[in-house]
Amino acid sequence: MDFLGILTTSITSAIGPVAAIYALAIIGLNMHFGYTGLLNFGQVGFMLVGAYGVAVCVGTFGLPLSVGVAASILCAVVLALLMGIPTLRLRADYLAICTIAVAEGLRFVYRAPFARDLTGGVFGRQNLSDGFRELNPFPPGRYGVGDITFSSPHLWTMVVTWSLVLVSCLIMWSLMHSPWGRVIKGIREDEDAVRSLGKNVFVYKLQSLVIGGVFGALAGVMIALHQASVTPDQFRPQVTFYLWAMLLLGGAGRTWGPVIGSVVMWFLLTFTDETMRALDQMGWLPFVTGGELGAVRHALVGLILVLLIIYRPQGLIGNRREMLVNVK
């Protein structure tokens, strides 16, 4: 078994573009759940509208990338308002139901044949990142240290996405240390107390939902640019649950929790994946065949989610007392 090779692959995936994109989406989820206590089980819906903002503007209408990004952010705001206005006045469970259902409903709509002229149906849109790659300052080739290398387009995506993550973390930090952030955390701790102070809790929750959604949409934009193509079926609900597992692993309600969660989880996932693949090739896995390893990984994420909540709700760097909040 090529242990070193597995380790290299795992590290590559832990710091690679995908981990950065997930970190960006988790920052949005952290805004919702970690700080405000909102149960958003449909973050993938924000990623979907974000990716398709670019896909439709660039892929269908041939508009410049900047218009696409603006459209993505606009779509995310509209989606957040659409889901937030009916549910945020109610108990948290209504938002949870609404988000998980709307995210999956959106996927059905985007992949439907009647939408093919606009979204490309199940085939999605291709060749989206020409404008983005023109800006790539790295000449073609591979860059990196030792065996951990990235191709020039990947490096460019990585640099941009990790910078976005860094900036987003700084934004979150400054937001959460502002008066606004204290109200938001107050809502998580005790909504009624905040309401009795004369704050309009509904508006604050709505703002939180919109901001977190915009981060999700940016992650979607980066997915479109990273892959240069988008298909609706990559935005399955499982993505949201991955985000949740990573957020809880890193530590919800912490500025760096999303980043740590994403990096550590991608390392673990790739490591188990590669190890299982190696074991499978050696014939040591009697019950599982090669094609089922993906399913085993999903099941593993489910298990991690359960175990984390039960035994370590604060994750790696969180504050346990903060995370024992109840439904608002």
Partner 1 sequence: MMCEGARVHRRIVTLLIAVLAMMLLAPGGAVADEQGEETLHGEIDDPEPIAGVEITVFEDETELGTATTDDDGQWEFVLPGPGTYRAVLDEDSVPEDVAELDLIPGAEHDDLEIGSGDERRLIYRFDEPEDGDEPAASPDDTEEELAEEEAEAEEGAEPPDVDEGAPFSHKFAQVATNGLVFGLVIAIASVGLSLIFGTTRMINFAHGDMVTFGALMALLFSTGAGGLGNSILGLFVAAALAIGVGLLLRDQLRPTIRLPLQGAILVLGIVGATLVGIFGGEAAQWHISLAGDPGLGSTPANLAAIVLVPVAIAALVITTGRLLRGRMPASTILSVQGALALLGLAAGIWWGAIGAVLIAVVLGAALGAGMERYIWQPLRLRNVALIQLFIVSIGVALLLRHVLLVMFGGSRSSYPEYQVQELVSLGPITIAPRSLAIMGIAVLVLVAVACMLQFTRVGKAMRAVSDNRDLAESSGIDVARITLYVWTLGGGLAALGGVLAGIHQIVHWQMGFHLLLLMFAAVILGGLGTAYGAMLGGIAIGLVAMLSTLWFPHQLMEAWALAIMIVMLLVRPQGLLGRRERIG
Residues 40-59 that bind partner 1 (CB under 8 A): 41
Least distance between partner 1 and beta carbon 256 (Å): 18
Residue closer to partner 1 (CB basis): 1 or 91: 91
Least distance between partner 1 and beta carbon 167 (Å): 5
Output the DSSP codes for 211-265: HHHHHHHHHHHHHHHHHS-B-GGGS-HHHHHHHHHHHHHH-TTSSSHHHHHHHHH
Place of tokens 């604060």: 314
DSSP state of 291: G
Residue closer to partner 1 (CB basis): 193 or 299: 299
In angstroms, the CA 243 to CA 262 distance is 8
Cβ contact 95:45 at 8 Å: no
Site string for partner 1, 239-258 (x = CB under 8 A): --x--xx--x----------
Residue closer to partner 1 (CB basis): 6 or 18: 18
In angstroms, the CA 169 to CA 218 distance is 14
The span of 44-52, 143-151, 255-263, 314-322 binding partner 1 (CB under 8 A) equals 143-151
Question: Contact with partner 1 (CB under 8 A): which of 62, 140, 146, 283?
Answer: 140
Least distance between partner 1 and beta carbon 284 (Å): 15
Least distance between partner 1 and beta carbon 271 (Å): 18
Least distance between partner 1 and beta carbon 311 (Å): 10
- 10 Å CB burial of residue 172 (0-12, 13-18, 19+) is buried
Q: Which has the closest alpha carbon to 205: 216, 217, 195?
A: 195
Residues 151-180 that bind partner 1 (CB under 8 A): 151-156, 159-160, 163-164, 167-168, 171, 174-175, 178-180
In angstroms, the CA 203 to CA 84 distance is 10
Site string for partner 1, 180-219 (x = CB under 8 A): x-----------------xxx--x---x---x--x---x-
Tokens of 103: 């995210």
Residue closer to partner 1 (CB basis): 14 or 184: 184
Cβ contact 317:250 at 8 Å: yes
Residue closer to partner 1 (CB basis): 309 or 317: 309
Cβ contact 125:59 at 8 Å: yes
Residues 69-128 that bind partner 1 (CB under 8 A): 69, 73, 82, 85-87, 89-94, 96-98, 100-102, 104-105, 108-109, 111-114, 122-124, 126
Crossing angle of the two packed helices 92-111 and 65-87, in degrees rounded to 10: 140
Least distance between partner 1 and beta carbon 181 (Å): 9
Residues 294-323 that bind partner 1 (CB under 8 A): 294-296, 298-299, 301-306, 309-310, 313
In angstroms, the CA 160 to CA 17 distance is 9
In angstroms, the CA 285 to CA 61 distance is 49
Radius of gyration of the chain (CA): 20
